[in-house]
Amino acid sequence: MKLYKFGGASVKDANGIKNVLDVLQKVGHENVLVIISAMGKTTNALEVVIKNYFEKSNELQESIQEVKKYHLQIIMELFEDDKNPVFKAVNQHFEDMDYFLSHNKSPNYNFVYDQIVSYGELISTTIVSHYFNTCGLKNNWLDVRNFIKTDTTYRDATVDWDQTLELISKNVKRKTLNITQGFLGADPNNFTTTLGREGSDYTAAIFAYCLNAESVTIWKDVPGVLNADPRYFENAILLNQISYREAIELAFYGATVIHPKTLQPLQRKEIPLFVKSFLNPLLPGTSVSKGADLVPQTPCFIVKKNQLLISLSSIDFSFIMEEHISEIFRLFHEYQIKVSLIQNSAISFSVCVEDKFNHFNELKSLLSKRFQISWHENVSLFTIRHFNENAIKIVETDKTVLVKQILGDTIQIVTKE
């Protein structure tokens, strides 16, 4: 079986969905499992719904209507028959969402987040599945929550591999086309969980591992894995082949083409990963596979924007010891703050972090009781794999360098504009 993953950009409108159908007709769709994300910026729109639910109840219905309007427009463009069952199926998802919002008793933001944001994937796959059926491409729509089981860490759930392996290996039909959702799972009480933002790639890897898949292909709006994000760097170069190890390194440092969790399950079973363009599906793209010699011959640039650079020092100028560092990292873990770079000296400790859940203000008050603390907001963290002097110059030009650190053939630079 082959696994294909299509992200939100590929299904952002009716023409995008028609193009996904065209891609499958060109590359083959028998014995294929397709994983699809929410359409376009639907996840962002549902985050507004959640925010209004907690903070601006008078604007809640308006934000829900925006999501409905967006999807209804796509449906109207795809289906000529207004009696098509897709209308009833999608409307049922919205009714289920309304029911949850009117009956929920939990004040847990992360729990509510996962229950609501999941409708983006459920609705997108429902529309795509019905459209394919209408066009004669028969398929099985699967609710991924019946297959991927997790713990109760909402918004960043951990997979129960034993249970998930059993469910997928026994219940996914082969020799046909299956369609399911990325990003989602279910906890022991069958409440929806999510696998972390951009977790649809990881979903593909989970299914691939459990099905002993032939390959996984991630379909993007870029020709493959590039040596730099073209939004920030000119003349980005396509990497034709890279090893699992190199891809893991790039993902670890923040490359966004492949989700960081995606590669480990594939590497364990040596399942090849392809990154290809849904605009030019017959081009070879990038292949990720086993091979120590598959190392890029050019510097690879990774940038993380909107980071925090935090510097801590002891109040009495004593050494920063292991127990201090242990306590700091315990707090980072507790407050869900991801550390991307560490630099320490005898009496100071600096970290560049990502505060995606906006917990730093709470953490700051705790840290300031034990340490002198200073910080820079909205810094950029550049990582250059296989760097050279020219690559460093490209990053540092017209910027203030706050931290620079070299480890082997990788350099990390924290800058402020």
User: Residue 354 in contact with residue 264, Cβ under 8 Å?
Assistant: no
Residue appearing with tokens 């650079």: 309
* 182 in a labelled binding site: no
* 40 in a labelled binding site: no
Q: Which residues are within 8 A (CB) of 207 and not within 5 positions of it... i.e. 6 or more apart?
A: 3, 33, 35, 147, 168, 172, 180, 213
Phi first, then psi: give them for residue 121, nearest 5 degrees: -70, -40
* 191 in a labelled binding site: no
Residue appearing with tokens 């729990």: 111
Name the residue among 227, 247, 248, 231 with its Cα closest to residue 239.
227
* 121 in a labelled binding site: yes
* 7 in a labelled binding site: yes
Q: SS3 for 227?
A: coil
132-151: burial string, b at 16+ Cβ within 10 Å, e else: bbeeeeebebbebbebbbbe
**What's the CA gap between 375 and 413, in Å, rounded?**
16
Positive or negative torsion for Cα 25, 28, 30, 35? negative
Name the residue among 369, 371, 362 with its Cα closest to residue 351.
371
Q: Which residues belong to the annotated binding site for ATP?
A: 5-8, 231
Q: Which residues belong to the annotated binding site for substrate?
A: 43, 121
Q: Which residues belong to the annotated binding site?
A: 5-8, 43, 121, 231
